[in-house]
Structure 1
Amino acid sequence: MKTIRITVIDYPGGMKSAIEGLSELFAMASRLSLERQEGVEFAVQVSASAELAGLPVPVETDVPQVIILPPCIVGDEYIVEQPSLSGWLKTMHGAGALICSVCAGAFILAQTGLLNQRPATTHWMLADRLAQRFPEVRVDDSKILINDGDLMTAGGLMAWLDLGLELVAQFGSPALMRQLGKHLVVDTAPRQQRYYRCFMPPFDHGDRVVLKSQHYLQSHSQTSVTVKQLAEECHLTERTFLRRFVRATGYKPKEYIQQLRISKACEALESSADSIEVIALSSGYDDVSAFRKVFIKITGLTPREFRGRFCAET
């Protein structure tokens, strides 16, 4: 049985129904997984933010796979600087944890600096405030949920449900997520499409050197990056870096970068009206023909076919 450890942060003003709802959602997912013999269970721990201050750096086995910052429904604690919590979140992220936020929780996540140069969403009423306070964050309030690999943000007070379903699909299976949706009487179709389209790289492999390069690639995939540059950044020979990267991720660096680029291109094709040429360029491809070739190899569709199949307005 594979156990997915999830920590939900209970900070002052945090929405109690979301905290309890996430716990119950993952408990239900675990029961369904047992019935379906899928071999995965979700273990949720609710931790008060004050309890996290000053904790020692954990060993690998103590690092949760997922940490969730729920929405805030009372007060404005989410805009108060919380250096202890920020430091703890950065430590956990550096150790391989997937950090998630819902609604106003994005403000707490943004305090860590982890969202700099990264896409993020929050409640539409808070989007301008988030963008003004953290100008390096690429705020997009048109998205219900943005899964950017090692960081995940959801908008709206009730978007914790979307987040929970996405995590069940990612760490369990799409079939388990669909079954959970039936029990909850929730339409899971959009989450299915997002799951199949997104590249889900592993971050819990325990190799912190490789993890550092993954975090770098997550926000620099559109630029020209060589194995030599990555190896030098990690103070390793190219051969050693390549061996460790493949062992940890299952991909060669070039393949990994292609997966990241096409994942972001799929997001752009579905959510924007930009031309394929523009999307290819913004994804890191100067040659549109090369972009199409890689896109077909990874998705099985041409960019135009993908847009026609998954975009409501073509």
Structure 2
Amino acid sequence: MTHSDIQIAIIDYPGAMQSALMGLQEMFTLTNGLCDKNSHNARFHTTIVNETSRQEASQDQTIYQVVIIPPDLGGCFHSKPSGTLTNWIHVQHQQGAIICSSCAGTLVLAEMGLLKNRRATTHWNLADKFNDLYPETQLDVEKILINDGDIITAGGLMSWLDLGLELVAQLTQPCIMRQLGKLLIVDTGSREQKYYQSFSPKLDHGDKAILKAQHYLQTHYAQPVSVSQLAALSCLTERTFLRHFVQATRHKPNDYLQRLRIQKACDLIESSAATFETIAMDVGYEDNSAFRKTFRKITGLTPSEFKRRFA
């Protein structure tokens, strides 16, 4: 069987929780065995990245699909992160890597400017500090994990387990994630619902022009967006942009935007008491009927059915 390699970088910074670094490595190693058992062609490769290794970045040609910032055990790195590492993380994000954090690691992403106008979570004890420093981030500390497409944040010190399970489900199959949970004796029930409803856009396709458009949509999904606008943003003609977008994402721009909006709506239904009409407006729909029709087409449920089942 030919394997599809998934390269994962785990950042080892001063004060990083070492059990999280080792634990994530071991989770992905166990997942490789489960993938073989289930005839799934994914193969995880993990690399521990620190400041010294990043000084040799010019010699490193590895393309990472995922970069993980683990919890901080009381250090100050998250307040003043190293420019060497943060610059490297920015480059990986621009190349299509999913950037992940756990606990105080979320403050590193906020300090880098990656969480402006984004939903994110962190440890509940850091909420006041986080809100004071980064008011433009929509912090929700009631969530253990928030998957926002190209950025995934997790809450408490042990939330790296939830993060690892989320990545396994997203990059392989939900059934492999459940098998991993049973092997580790970790409860995966509350996560399973989200896996089936989650829209996880492809970001590691290598087309930087299309990736720029995807990053724009991730933060402007509620606004009217035209193909001509996205094409101009990508410095491409409309015809070329459409061809590249479908090749890179496997979706037409309008379908991509609708799926992104409905995923945002699902998150809001699960996490708030807002009315469907309010949620429809928040994610970019002025017509409630169109919202309900699109919601059912994508999720297979009406908004009311979704709320009863998952909220």
Match of 2:57 in 1: 55
Match of 1:207 in 2: 207
Q: CA deviation at 1:75?
A: 2.1
| Cα deviation code 1:153-210 (max 9, x no counterpart) | 0000000000000000000110000000000111111221111111010001111100
Q: Secondary structure at the match of 1:125?
A: helix
| Cα deviation code 1:107-151 (max 9, x no counterpart) | 111122111111111000012211211222221111100000000
Q: CA deviation at 1:49?
A: 3.1
Corresponding position: 1:22 with 2:30: no
CA distance in 2, matches of 1:57, 1:91: 14
CA distance in 2, matches of 1:58, 1:48: 13
CA distance in 2, matches of 1:304, 1:223: 24
| Cα deviation code 1:39-68 (max 9, x no counterpart) | 111111111134324723965xx2110000
Letter of the aligned partner of 1:20 in structure 2? Answer: M
Q: Secondary structure at the match of 1:265?
A: helix
Q: Secondary structure at the match of 1:180?
A: helix
CA distance in 1, matches of 2:231, 2:16: 42
Q: Secondary structure at the match of 1:126?
A: helix
Map 1:38-49 → 2, pairs under 5 A: 38-49=40-51
Letter of the aligned partner of 1:86 in structure 2? Answer: T
Q: CA contact under 8 A between 1:57 and 1:91: conserved in structure 2?
A: no
Letter of the aligned partner of 1:48 in structure 2? Answer: N
- Percent identity at matched positions? 51
Letter of the aligned partner of 1:76 in structure 2? Answer: C
Q: CA contact under 8 A between 2:280 and 2:286: conserved in structure 1?
A: yes
CA distance in 2, matches of 1:102, 1:24: 17
Corresponding position: 1:223 with 2:212: no
Corresponding position: 1:155 with 2:170: no
CA distance in 2, matches of 1:158, 1:213: 34
Match of 1:291 in 2: 291
Aligned residues: 309
| Cα deviation code 1:59-99 (max 9, x no counterpart) | 5xx21100000001132222114222221111110001000
Match of 1:175 in 2: 175
Q: CA deviation at 1:270?
A: 1.2
Q: CA deviation at 1:6?
A: 0.6
Match of 2:133 in 1: 133
- Of stretches 22-31 and 44-53 in structure 1, the one that deviates more from structure 2 is 44-53
Q: CA contact under 8 A between 2:209 and 2:235: conserved in structure 1?
A: no
Letter of the aligned partner of 2:54 in structure 1? Answer: L
CA distance in 1, matches of 2:248, 2:24: 30
Match of 1:66 in 2: 66
Match of 2:254 in 1: 254
CA distance in 1, matches of 2:242, 2:137: 31
- Of stretches 278-287 and 38-47 in structure 1, the one that deviates more from structure 2 is 38-47
CA distance in 2, matches of 1:133, 1:208: 31
Per the alignment, do residues 81 and 9 of structure 1 end up closer, same or farther by CA in structure 2, a change over 3 Å counting? closer
CA distance in 2, matches of 1:4, 1:191: 22
Corresponding position: 1:2 with 2:4: yes
Name structure 2 gaps, 5 residues minimum.
none
CA RMSD of aligned residues (A): 1.2
Map 1:37-116 → 2, pairs under 5 A: 37-53=39-55, 55-56=57-58, 62-116=62-116
TM-score (norm 1): 0.96
TM-score (norm 2): 0.97
Q: CA contact under 8 A between 2:199 and 2:260: conserved in structure 1?
A: yes
Per the alignment, do residues 288 and 142 of structure 1 end up closer, same or farther by CA in structure 2, a change over 3 Å counting? same
Match of 2:197 in 1: 197
Q: CA deviation at 1:296?
A: 0.7
CA distance in 2, matches of 1:186, 1:143: 18
Per the alignment, do residues 245 and 58 of structure 1 end up closer, same or farther by CA in structure 2, a change over 3 Å counting? farther
Q: Secondary structure at the match of 1:100?
A: strand
Q: CA deviation at 1:31?
A: 1.0
Q: CA contact under 8 A between 1:15 and 1:74: conserved in structure 2?
A: no
